[in-house]
Structure 1
Amino acid sequence: MTGPNQLWEVDVKYGYITGEDRFFFLLSYIDVFDKNIIDYYMGLNCSAQDAVVTLKRALMRRDLYTRENKPVIRSDNGPLFISYLF
């Protein structure tokens, strides 16, 4: 890796909301080179659709959406990231 926008990582974390007896989810795309969070989604549910929308926003943020060469996306191959939609 020689610069930003070559390799991004994506992962979903979750946390417990005390007093409401439920969880929230945080999905984030991180550039491995500069360790910056490019974009993220936070909500009470997290679907493949949320991952796709957030990826599109991240690509637009870095002005890569219409470019031919896009970053490689590395994930843990969880259900969201192996879905047909993603």
Structure 2
Amino acid sequence: MTAPNQLWETDVKYGYIEGEQRFFFLLSILDVCDRAVIDYYIGTRCEAKDAVELLQRALWKRNQFGEDQRPVIRTDQGRFNRWL
């Protein structure tokens, strides 16, 4: 990568809240070039609509809606790869 906004990575992690006996999800989008976290979602659920909203926010933050060429989105082929 030679410049920001060419390749973005997404990943989902989860953790456990001991006192509440439940899980939470952390979904993040990173720019591979500058290694910046563009945006993230954290919550007790992680559904396709949450991922879509996250991607839309990331595109707005990086002013990519008016661009002819948008970033390539790379995922690790995990559970949520079907929505990207």
- TM class by shorter chain equals over 0.9
- Does 55-64 or 70-79 show the bigger shift? 70-79
> What's the TM-score once normalised by structure 2's chain length?
0.93
SS of 1:82 mapped into structure 2: helix
Mapped pair 1:16 → 2:16: yes
Larger helix proportion of the pair: 2
Secondary structure of 2:49's match? helix
Task: Quote the Cα distance in structure 1 between the aligned partners of 2:60 and 2:54.
Answer: 10
TM-fit CA distance, 1:57:
0.3
Q: Give unmatched runs, 5+ long, in structure 2.
A: none
Distance 2:64 2:23 in 1: 33
Q: CA deviation at 1:81?
A: 2.2
Q: Partner of 2:76 in structure 1?
A: 76
Letter in 2 for 1:42: I
1:38 lines up with 2:38 in the alignment: yes
TM-score in terms of structure 1 length: 0.91
Cα distance in 2 for residues equivalent to 1:56 and 1:35: 19
Q: Would you say the 8 A contact 1:48–1:81 is kept in 2?
A: no
Measured in 2, the distance between the counterparts of 1:12 and 1:26 equals: 6
Q: How many residue pairs get matched?
A: 84
Cα distance per residue 1:15-66 (max 9 Å; x no partner): 1101111100000000001000000000000011111110010000000022
* Structure 1 ranges of 4+ moved more than 3 A: none
RMSD between aligned residues? 1.1
Identical pairs, percent: 57
